[in-house]
Structure 1
Amino acid sequence: MPESPLAVGADAPLFSAPLVTPDGEVEETALGELLGEKPVLLAFYTNDFSPDCVNEWCSFRDYDWFATGERVQVVGVSRSRTYTHKKFIDYLDLGFPLYTDRDLSIAESYGVKYRAFKIAARAKRSVFFIDRDGVIKYRWVGEHPLDPTRDSPPLGEIQRALEDVLGPLEEESFGFK
């Protein structure tokens, strides 16, 4: 298992875990299955309903251009239970599925597992853009010195990374076509 976050160009670790979909269904789903459909923007976060994570997921929801044109799938990963994921998806009206990583083995395989204040194990807030071949094309990892959950993903930078691989995403029309 890597002790530091995986680098751009590395093969993404493949895994299978419970995945909660926006309609509340739960199914053991392999990352490889998702990559067979389209590239994945895998976003690690600490727990459902923590204030910093609510803000992060609201940002992803509000900047839905990540998924415009059905070209990218945004998928969250946290140690929260499937039941809590269902409530979190409903509460924020998310259109993204969420993986449950109860033992943090997924976070560990991506090199983003850590101990907050050397006590509580959790995943650093981080984002990995994985192409359909399973190669990491972009990564961002929160590096706050005391609590990495306080960093926020740079949405503009993530969009540029997606466009570098996929070409221009649909432009925001703000409801006007």
Structure 2
Amino acid sequence: MKKGDQVPNISLKDQNGNDFSFEELKGKAFVVYFYPKDFTPGCTKEACNFRDSYEDFKELGAEVIGISADSEDSHSSFADKYELPYILLSDEDKKAREAFGVQPNLLGLLPGRETFIFDKEGKLLHKFNSMNASRHMPEALTVLRKNLN
């Protein structure tokens, strides 16, 4: 995906087993972050960073969505354990990774860690790729503050 592209129109299951479509977010800015795996140290840190700043995103009128290849049950346990207030989507068949163009890291051994920030019309404002989990949330918040104010 490149700047200005429309969010892919795909549906995935959330941590509660409900169908979720990105169409539901029309009229709201949102952040989609792809991460390798529930309960791993870097991914837990990233998820908790988004959790701890979730109110800042809500104040900007933005939603946060995390996506990995973990199952709905794994996401449910992960969200419960760390009190994650936002949507986690299960991408077991990797159709979202393909639609967003998320590349694997570490010689293809690890799923990529990439964050996408969209405006209220579902157009891509910015994307950010780094295996450093702690850099994603501040980058997303900075981009939204710059573009929504």
Fold match, TM over 0.5?
A: yes
Alignment partners' CA distance in 2, 1:54 and 1:157 = 17
Of 6, 9, 14, the match for 1:11: 6
Q: Output the CA distance in 2 between the equivalents of 1:70 and 1:160.
A: 11
Identity level (%): 26
- Name the CA distance, whole Å, in 1 between partners of 2:105 and 2:148: 35
- Candidates 147, 162, 176, aligned match of 2:144: 162
Residue 130 (1) aligns with residue 118 (2)? yes
RCO comparison, higher one (Cα < 8 Å, 6+): 2
- For residues 14 and 136 of structure 2, what CA distance do their matches in structure 1 show? 25
Instruction: Verify: 1:100 aligned to 2:100, yes or no.
Output: no
* Partner amino acid, structure 2, of 1:133: E
Structure with greater Cα Rg: 1
**Deviation at 1:95?**
0.4
Distance 1:130 1:92 in 2: 25
8 Å contact from structure 2 (residues 43, 133) kept in 1: no
| 1:30-76 alpha-carbon deviations (Å, 9 max, x no partner) | 1111x225221101001111111001111111122442326010010
| Counterpart code for 1:49 | F
Which portions of structure 1, spanning 4 or more consecutive aligned residues, are displaced by more than 4 angstroms? none
Higher percent of residues as helix: 2
Q: 1:121 to 1:62 in 2, by over 3 A?
A: closer
Q: Distance in 1 between matches of 2:148 and 2:101?
A: 26
Which blocks of at least 5 consecutive residues in structure 1 are unaligned?
1-5, 143-147, 168-177
Q: What aligned pairs does 1:1-177 form with structure 2 within 5 A after superposition?
A: 6-20=1-15, 25-33=16-24, 35-36=25-26, 38-69=28-59, 71-114=61-104, 116-118=106-108, 120=109, 122=111, 124-142=112-130, 148=131, 150-167=132-149
In the alignment, structure 2 segments of 5+ residues that lack a partner are: none
Shift, 1:82, TM fit: 0.2
What letter matches 1:126 in structure 2? E
Deviation at 1:151, TM superposition (A): 4.7
3-state DSSP of counterpart to 2:104: strand
TM-score (normalised: structure 2): 0.89
How big is the alpha-carbon RMSD for the aligned residues of Structure 1 and Structure 2? 1.9
Q: CA deviation at 1:156?
A: 3.2
| Cα distance change on mapping 1:15 and 1:132 into 2, 3 Å | same
Going from structure 1 to structure 2, the CA distance change for 1:37 and 1:134 (only over 3 Å counts) comes to closer
| Aligned-pair CA distance for 1:10 | 1.8
CA contact (8 A) 1:140 1:153 kept: no
Contact 2:32-2:64 within 8 A present in 1 as well: yes
Aligned to 1:49, what secondary structure does the other structure show? coil
